[in-house]
Amino acid sequence: MSIWWSLHLRREAASVPLARRLLIGTMETAGVDPDISFDLSVALSEACANAVEHGGDDEPGCPSEAYRVTAYLDGERCRIEVADTGPGFPASAPGGTARPVSADAEHGRGLCLIRELADHVHIGGEPGRAGAVVSFDKILKWREDAPLVAV
């Protein structure tokens, strides 16, 4: 079984729950274990929130008004990619290295949460293209009654 979808979303706070609900609905329909769905939906929310907050300048008509979310459920793995057209990660943070933050900090925990919730994480950019790309994947577990379980 293979399912994939891609969204082109405006850099607005309302886009974050939309992407999250679509991911949860897809995984619920496919029969993915709810704990795995929850972990991936939180990681997706963090990546989308980062794209909304840091994904570009806020001048009307700029290409940085939007960001892209792509999700692949393929076999026993889910891979999610969030890409924006903003300034990308600072040169002082190669590979998007997350800086340590305190547990009670209100900002700066998103990349750390994504790393904790996913099995593999890649943070960076695409060669020859401005912006940041956060991609992550997780091995799926299935409910016993899963209609679309991987073969």
User: Pick the residue with more confidence: 137 or 60?
Assistant: 137
Q: Who's near 8: CB < 8 A, 6+ residues apart?
A: 66, 67, 68
User: Within 10 A of 107 (CB to CB), how many other CB atoms are there?
Assistant: 7
Let me know if residue 146 belongs to a domain.
no
Number of domains in the chain: 1
Let me know if residue 29 belongs to a domain.
yes
50 — pLDDT class (breaks 50, 70, 90): very high
Share of the chain above pLDDT 70, in %: 77
What does pTM read for this prediction?
0.83
Containing structural domain, residue 39: 3-58+65-92+102-139
| 140 pLDDT above the threshold of 80 | yes
| 108 pLDDT above the threshold of 60 | yes
What's the whole-number average pLDDT of the chain?
85
- Strand pairing of 2-10 and 133-139? unpaired
67 and 82 in contact (C-beta within 8 Å)?
Answer: yes
CATH number at residue 110: 3.30.565.10
Q: What is the pLDDT of residue 93?
A: 53
Let me know if residue 144 belongs to a domain.
no
Q: What is the pLDDT of residue 147?
A: 76
51 and 114 in contact (C-beta within 8 Å)?
Answer: no
Q: Which of 75-79, 97-101, 110-114 has the lowest mean pLDDT?
A: 97-101
| 94 pLDDT above the threshold of 70 | no
30 and 148 in contact (C-beta within 8 Å)?
Answer: yes
Region 119-124 average pLDDT: 94
Let me know if residue 148 belongs to a domain.
no
